[in-house]
Amino acid sequence: MTLSAEELGARIEDRSSAGIARAVGRMVTSGALDPGTLMPPVRALAGVLGVSPMTISGAWKVLAADGLLSARGRAGTVVLDPTATASTARRRRIAALGAPVTLDLSTGGPDPALLPDLAPALSRLADLELPDGYQSDPVLPRLERVLRKRWPFPPGSLTVVDGAGDALDRIVSLVVRRGSPVVVEDPGYPPLLDLLEAAGAELVGVGLDGEGIRPDSLRQGLRAGPVAVFAQPRAQNPTGASMSAARARELARLLEGTDVVVVEDDHSGDIATAPAVSIGRWLPEATVQIASFSKSHGPDLRLAAVGGSARVVDAIAERRLLGAGWSSRLLQHVLADLLVDPAAISAVRGARRTYTRRRRDAFGALTARGVRTAGGDGINLWVEVADEDRALATLLAAGIGAARGSVFVVSPSDPHIRLTVGRLSGDTAAFADAVAAAAAPPPRRVTR
Ligand SMILES: Cc1ncc(COP(=O)(O)O)c(C=O)c1O
């Protein structure tokens, strides 16, 4: 349906840019304008209202940022569905569903058997004086001290949220507007790609090598004028790459002088073997790093810290006061305890070694069978296959769950699967045989 400038103009009283945005916004959210309705040309509406075309374009920009209108170039500006919910398309498609699996390597999560025992820290909780509900700092001072000491650069501000996923969600809401170009690793973390797409970001994928984001690829990506760069500094999911200090410095040089926010998602934390690095060492005002404790200390602690640029971190903490307020300080006490307790530190060190051994064994066994694999750090291997669907189905038939590679990629690429071999405690040879069979092209039918 097309709306005439006269029809729309008659329903607008306040002719300021903000007034027009409010009136049209109300029409869209109340359902008075159906999704798909084509707005009249800017000049025609400006003529009817007796305002400059800039006033109308300003209002359209506000409504586009709110996800209520979409500018489609020559095709005009159309009404969007205000009830459209965030897509979780990639997240939903990660694992192939079907037969029950005996070995689920699709998860990307830690081996529960390798997490530190929480019982001693929980029992010590009983002796502590707990903070006074609403009046206390959102971050437990005891935890903040420990975190600041281990941070890879002096953070302007630091706060604690409910996991790296929560941190990414909050940062995206703060930094990304509809139509904002955002640089992401390609391949990268599927729920982040979903989150950015739901926020209306334009994804600009950049390539990786063994040391992280490739400088030539970032240089190219920066031409799109991104508002932010999202990167994983260690044990990148899915490729396992860890950023070297030299690379961090090189990337910092490229970002210097821009107003791009750098978001580093250190999701693997203490289970990564590479040392903690950050572009924040060179660009502390522009960088925030997220430190998750899910893989090292347990996903159900549901805690991650966000530290760095005070502008970004303070805005997150401030906004959060209107909702959850803070992350459970009971759990913050448990984490603070685990980070200094010698038994817990030794358990995490042991887990890191076990993951390294399992990853190397699996990598070696696959390479020996001619399967091309990446995985320098962490718990995952990124495995080339001839055909994703066939590979997933073949593994499923062998009782092995794997993650679909295409949900990690931004631009079309060769087919892959991701295998969380950190959870592989059994027979590596049998596993590698199954993966080699799954990765191979289908046997050619012999025709006579
Ligand atoms: C790259 C990446 N970011 C974030 C997360 C979510 O972490 P958390 O459990 O701390 O929310 C994961 C989980 O696997 C991840 O792989």
Domains of the chain: which residue ranges? Answer: 5-79, 89-113+344-439, 130-340
Where does the pLDDT of residue 447 fall: very low under 50, low under 70, confident under 90, or very high at 90 and above?
A: low
Paired tokens of 296: 């090292």
Fold category of 130-340 in CATH: Aspartate Aminotransferase; domain 2 (3.40.640)
Cis-peptide into 187, omega within 30 deg: yes
Give the pLDDT band (50/70/90) at residue 251.
very high
> Which ligand 1 atom is at minimum distance from the Cα of 162?
11
Q: Which residues pair with 416 in a beta bridge?
A: 384
Tell which atom from ligand 1 comes closest to the C-alpha of 188: 1
CB 184, CB 90: distance < 8 Å: no
- pLDDT confidence tier of residue 98, bands split at 50, 70 and 90: low
> What is the overall mean pLDDT for the chain?
93
CB–CB of 168/192 below 8 Å?
A: yes
- From residue 13, how far is each of 9, 34, 44 by CA, in Å? 8, 21, 17
Angle between helix axes 310-320 and 164-175 (nearest 10 degrees) is: 100
Pocket test of ligand 1: the residue of 185, 292, 297, 420 to mutate, having most ligand atoms within 8 Å of its CB, is: 292
- 362-372: average pLDDT: 98
Mark residue 179 as left, alpha or beta (left: phi above 0; alpha: psi -120 to 50; beta: remaining). Answer: left
Residues 155, 5: Cα–Cα separation, whole Å: 52
Q: So what's the pLDDT on residue 187?
A: 98
What's at 6, amino acid-wise?
A: E
Q: Whose CA is nearest to atom 14 of ligand 1?
A: 108
What's the pTM value of the predicted model, to 2 decimals? 0.87
**The CATH number of domain 5-79, selected from 1.20.1050.10, 3.40.367.20, 3.40.50.620, 1.10.10.10:** 1.10.10.10
Q: What is the pLDDT of residue 134?
A: 83
Q: What is the pLDDT of residue 67?
A: 80
CATH architecture of 89-113+344-439: Alpha-Beta Complex (3.90)
Rounded CA-CA distance 279/211 in Å is: 13
Terminal-to-terminal C-alpha distance of the chain: 60
Return the pLDDT at 241.
Answer: 98
Residue range 116-167, pLDDT digits in tens: 999 999 999 888 887 777 888 899 999 999 999 999 999 999 999 999 999 9
Task: Give residue 165 CA to ligand 1 midpoint distance, Å.
Answer: 6
Which class for 390: exposed (0-12), middle (13-18), buried (19 or more C-beta within 10 A)?
middle
Q: Are 104 and 398 in contact (CB under 8 A)?
A: no
Rounded to 5, what percent of the chain is helix, strand, coil? 45, 15, 40
| Pocket probe mutation, ligand 1, options 265, 271, 382, max atoms within 8 Å of Cβ | 265
What's the confidence (pLDDT) of residue 442? 82
Atom of ligand 1 nearest to the CA of 265: 3
- Rounded to whole angstroms, the Cα distance separating 116 from 237 reads 23
Beta strand pairing call for 304-308 and 287-292: antiparallel
List phi, psi (to 5°) of 203.
Answer: -75, 130
Side chain identity, residue 224: A
Report how far residue 226's alpha carbon sits from residue 364's, in angstroms, rounded to the nearest whole number.
Answer: 39
φ/ψ of residue 198, rounded to 5: -65, -30
Please identify, by atom number, the ligand 1 atom nearest to the C-alpha of residue 108.
Answer: 14
pLDDT at residue number 355: 98
Lowest mean pLDDT across 129-138, 204-213, 260-269, 410-419: 129-138
Query: Using an 8 Å Cβ cutoff, are 147 and 305 in contact?
Result: yes
pLDDT value at residue 208: 97
Q: Which residues line ligand 1 (CB under 6 A)?
A: 108, 163-165, 189, 232, 237, 265, 267, 292, 294, 299, 304
> How far is CA 249 from each of CA 52, 212, 215, 221, 255, rounded to the nearest angstrom?
47, 12, 10, 17, 10
Q: Say how many Å lie between the CA of residue 54 and the centre of ligand 1.
A: 43
Beta bridge partners of 418: 382, 403
What b/e readout covers 191-220, taking b as 16+ CB neighbours within 10 angstroms? bbbbbbbbbbbebbbbbbeebbbbbebbee
User: pLDDT digits over 409-420, tens only?
Assistant: 999 899 999 999
State the pLDDT confidence band at 286, using cuts at 50, 70 and 90: very high
Output the CA 397–ligand 1 centroid distance in Å. Answer: 28
Ligand 1 atom closest to the Cα of residue 165 is 11
The pLDDT, as a whole number, for residue 71 is 84
